[in-house]
Structure 1
């Protein structure tokens, strides 16, 4: 059930990367109108969406690899949300000093990290039990 949902989210990211950035910024950044994203961000989100959609459709090793990567990423952002914010700021924005993160977003990042980690563990257990 979760695989089609993840695939759908990937498809939405591939089709509407600018909208994904708008949603992210409205939740995470205090001053999105003052921040300029890097020129490659829409292309990067689009590629990520295509990869997620393809892995979800293919299943098997592609999906397992993606879920393992998701779990590792989730563990990092669960344990080190400020580090995630620092890295994201440098990657996503032209002038990282201009970005003012929403204070509530740190707790949201931890929740997202926990969710990613739980999804990866669930996927791993499902694969292990089917063998």
Structure 2
């Protein structure tokens, strides 16, 4: 079930990278029209979505690795939301100093991190109880 959801989210991300960026900015950034996303971000989001969708088609080592990586990323985001915001701002925007985060999104970042950790732990448990 989780693999299907992850695959669908990957496909949606691959098909609609502009909408994904707009949604993220509208939720997370206080001044979404102030910043300019670096030119490589949208193609990278599309590529990531294709990769996630493809990996999710098969339940093997690649999917296990993907979910483990998701769990690690989720733990970092859950425990260090301000570090994530600082890194994401510098990494994704041409003028990071112009970006102002919505303070209420700090809880959203933590919720996303917790969800990623949960999904990774569940798939890990499911993988190891099946054998």
- Taking the aligned partners of 1:50 and 1:129, their CA distance within structure 2 comes to 29
Shift of residue 58, structure 1, vs aligned partner: 1.6
What does residue 44 of structure 1 align with?
44
- Taking the aligned partners of 1:127 and 1:65, their CA distance within structure 2 comes to 12
Shift of residue 114, structure 1, vs aligned partner: 0.5
- The list of structure 1 runs, each at least 4 consecutive aligned residues, that deviate by more than 2 angstroms after superposition, is none
Matched positions, count? 131
| Structure 1 stretches lacking a partner, 5+ long | none
| Deviation per residue, 1:89-113 (Å, 9 max, x gap) | 0111000000000001111000110
What does residue 115 of structure 2 align with?
115
Shift of residue 51, structure 1, vs aligned partner: 1.0
What does residue 71 of structure 2 align with?
71
Pair 1:31 & 2:36 matched: no
Shift of residue 59, structure 1, vs aligned partner: 1.8
- Taking the aligned partners of 2:50 and 2:5, their CA distance within structure 1 comes to 14
| Deviation per residue, 1:31-71 (Å, 9 max, x gap) | 01111000001111011101110111022111100000000
- Taking the aligned partners of 1:52 and 1:105, their CA distance within structure 2 comes to 25
| Structure 2 stretches lacking a partner, 5+ long | none
Q: Secondary structure at the match of 2:30?
A: coil
What does residue 3 of structure 2 align with?
3
TM-score, with normalisation over the residues of structure 2? Answer: 0.98
